[in-house]
Chain A
Amino acid sequence: MLIKRNLLLFFRDRANVFFSLLAVLIIIALYVLFLGDLMEETLRAQLGFNADKIGVVMASIMLGGMVAVTSVTSGLGSITVSIADKESAAKDFLTSPVSRGKITRSYMTGSAAVAFIMTTAALVIVLVYIVSSGGTLPDAAGFARLFTATVLSVLCGNAIVFFVSLFVKTQSAFASLSTVVGTLIGFLMGIYVPIGQFPEAVQWVVKCFPMTHAASMFRQVLADEQLAVLFEKAPPEVLDGFRETFGVVFSYGEFISGFWVSAAVLIVTTTVFYSASLMVMKLRRV
């Protein structure tokens, strides 16, 4: 019932839903207006020839990142319920026999449920767009990997967002934080500017940001097959370079992160942040 409350409060607050999707809407607007064309030109220059379906490949890469962004921004939007309760003191909850731990778990679960619904919705929209643009749907194994990416992306985003929310006391402060995150996350996920075009130091920051791995997982499932077709006639190192430049995979020296390495990064990050949250709550006796 408490989780249902959190879901209802998020979805009935249209402004909250809108602002939690603002970063996503900005990404779509930028893509439609100019980023899509810009990235297509970059790709054509790299390929050295004009191939079919370049637009679909770029959409898959960019919108794959957008799905990962949704898991963070919608999680941020829905955790505002806990901040609002914190600000108003939620006296009716605290004078009831329900344990503080149960209330806290309801915020975590509610926020994760909202993020899962929104991320799945974003993923469906992206798949529809890809198919309508001439692309193909992933096979059953691909869908299983998309589901894995969605779950891990949501859990990892939720773990980080929940940890941060423990240190924010007011809705206005959290709104400011959400705006900053919403602005930065497009860069951190390599959506506005391909990761390969950042200076080396910035590239390392991006590669070490855990949620970028969620974007990488979505990109691999959505774009890898089409990239293989597109780069069929090109030398393999050109494809490798392209995948790194656009954040489909990351290289750490000689090591290249694949789907399951990124999954491991998300699992470890999720565990670390949930554990840290539990420790903070225990120290505060929440």
Chain B
Amino acid sequence: MFIQVENLCKTYGDVKAVNGVSFGAAEGSLFSFLGTNGAGKSTTINILTTLLAKTSGTARVGGFDIESEPEKVRELIGVVFQDSVLDPLLTVRENLAVRASLYGLRGTKLKSAVDNAVKITDMLDYAGRRYGKLSGGQRRRADIARALLHTPKLLFLDEPTTGLDPKTRRDIWRLIRELQKSSGMTVFLTTHYMEEAAESDDIVVIQKGEIKAHGSPLELKTRYCSDLLKITTVGGEFIEHKLKTTVDALPIIEQYKGNIANVEIINGTLDDVFLNLTEGLSDVN
């Protein structure tokens, strides 16, 4: 596992922000960490990115302990934060050059790292413009370019598309997926958009500092949501059935055969999984 977290805790006085969390993320995987606001996502990310000290438990990134070897961890990770962290008064290139220098890059190596980051994030047209003058989508690309300057093995994306329009979100995600495919880096994602997590290899849902569910999108959908069969009869009667699996619809449809005006099967989504888990509903199966 590229990320291995065991019984991680973070407390502020009596408040347990993260309470005994354990999970792992495989190398090269897209790992999604989901939860409502205040669930403990950002606290966990801040601990894993060495910004915050844990209270107890262990966490290793790339085999390095986050507490005893933070410098090693920092060399491996790139982080796209929720908020902008680049300087509005500097151009994109100037911002990237400053940040590349933080990783010990100098001279031609620094220039080539900046050029490469600008190229792969498709910012050639506006890399010479000040960051503060860019649109939201352009800024996000610059933020991602910053996180990729030192070709990290692990990329943290903390709600990377919040506040962006659907087209920009799609473009940003296309970019992230291309990068992951070409570099094989591990991606640790937090997001409020469940459709963004649908292509994850693994999902963890955290609620009130504790893990509520862990599995692949299919596993979670199977366990925590159901398909819905809607039948409208010839006589105008409206019938709904929750289904464990889609094929369970067949005997019901058979039952109403000859009396069906309309039939519809609505598949469960990750949104349903998320709502069922975070609103305290039990395992639907």
| Residues of A near any B CB (own CB < 8 A) | 1-2, 4-5, 8-9, 12-13, 88-98
Q: Find out whether the CB atom of A95 lies under 8 angstroms from the CB atom of B79.
A: yes
18 A/B residue pairs, CB under 8 Å, sorted by A = A2-B98, A2-B101, A2-B102, A4-B98, A88-B83, A88-B85, A91-B51, A92-B99, A92-B102, A93-B102, A95-B50, A95-B51, A96-B103, A97-B71, A97-B74, A97-B102, A97-B104, A98-B102
Of A1, A13, A94, the contact of B97 (CB 8 Å cutoff): A1
| Residues of B near any A CB (own CB < 8 A) | 49-51, 71, 74-75, 77, 79, 81, 83, 85-87, 89-90, 94, 97-99, 101-104, 110, 146
CA distance A2 to B110 in the complex (A): 14
Of B85, B87, B90, B101, the contact of A91 (CB 8 Å cutoff): B85
Q: Find out whether the CB atom of B79 lies under 8 angstroms from the CB atom of A91.
A: yes
CA distance A132 to B81 in the complex (A): 55
Task: Note all chain A residues with C-beta closer than 8 A to B49.
Answer: 91, 95
Give the distance to chain A from B171, nearest Cβ to Cβ, in Å. Answer: 23
Q: Find out whether the CB atom of A92 lies under 8 angstroms from the CB atom of B79.
A: yes
Q: Find out whether the CB atom of A5 lies under 8 angstroms from the CB atom of B71.
A: no
A98, closest chain B residue (CB): B102
Q: Find out whether the CB atom of A5 lies under 8 angstroms from the CB atom of B102.
A: no
CA distance A12 to B131 in the complex (A): 13
A2-B98, A95-B51 known; A8 vs B89 contact (CB < 8 Å)? yes
Q: Tell me the dominant secondary structure on chain A's binding face.
A: helix
Additional A-B contact list (15), CB under 8 Å, known A2-B98, A2-B102, A13-B89: A1-B98, A1-B101, A4-B98, A5-B87, A8-B89, A8-B94, A12-B90, A88-B83, A91-B51, A95-B50, A95-B51, A95-B77, A96-B74, A96-B102, A97-B75
A1-B101, A97-B75 known; A90 vs B85 contact (CB < 8 Å)? yes
Task: Note all chain A residues with C-beta closer than 8 A to B86.
Answer: 92
Task: Note all chain A residues with C-beta closer than 8 A to B104.
Answer: 97-98
B82, closest chain A residue (CB): A91
Q: Find out whether the CB atom of A5 lies under 8 angstroms from the CB atom of B98.
A: yes
A2-B101, A5-B98, A98-B102 known; A92 vs B85 contact (CB < 8 Å)? yes
CA distance A4 to B87 in the complex (A): 13
A-B pairs, top 5 by smallest CB distance, nearest first, are A1-B101, A96-B102, A12-B89, A98-B102, A92-B85
CA distance A98 to B105 in the complex (A): 11
Task: Note all chain A residues with C-beta closer than 8 A to B77.
Answer: 95
CA distance A43 to B52 in the complex (A): 63
B74, closest chain A residue (CB): A97
B76, closest chain A residue (CB): A97
Q: Find out whether the CB atom of A95 lies under 8 angstroms from the CB atom of B98.
A: no
Task: Note all chain A residues with C-beta closer than 8 A to B146.
Answer: 92
Q: Find out whether the CB atom of B87 lies under 8 angstroms from the CB atom of A9.
A: yes
Task: Note all chain B residues with C-beta closer than 8 A to A1.
Answer: 97-98, 101, 110
A99, closest chain B residue (CB): B71
Task: Note all chain A residues with C-beta closer than 8 A to B85.
Answer: 88, 90-92
B95, closest chain A residue (CB): A5
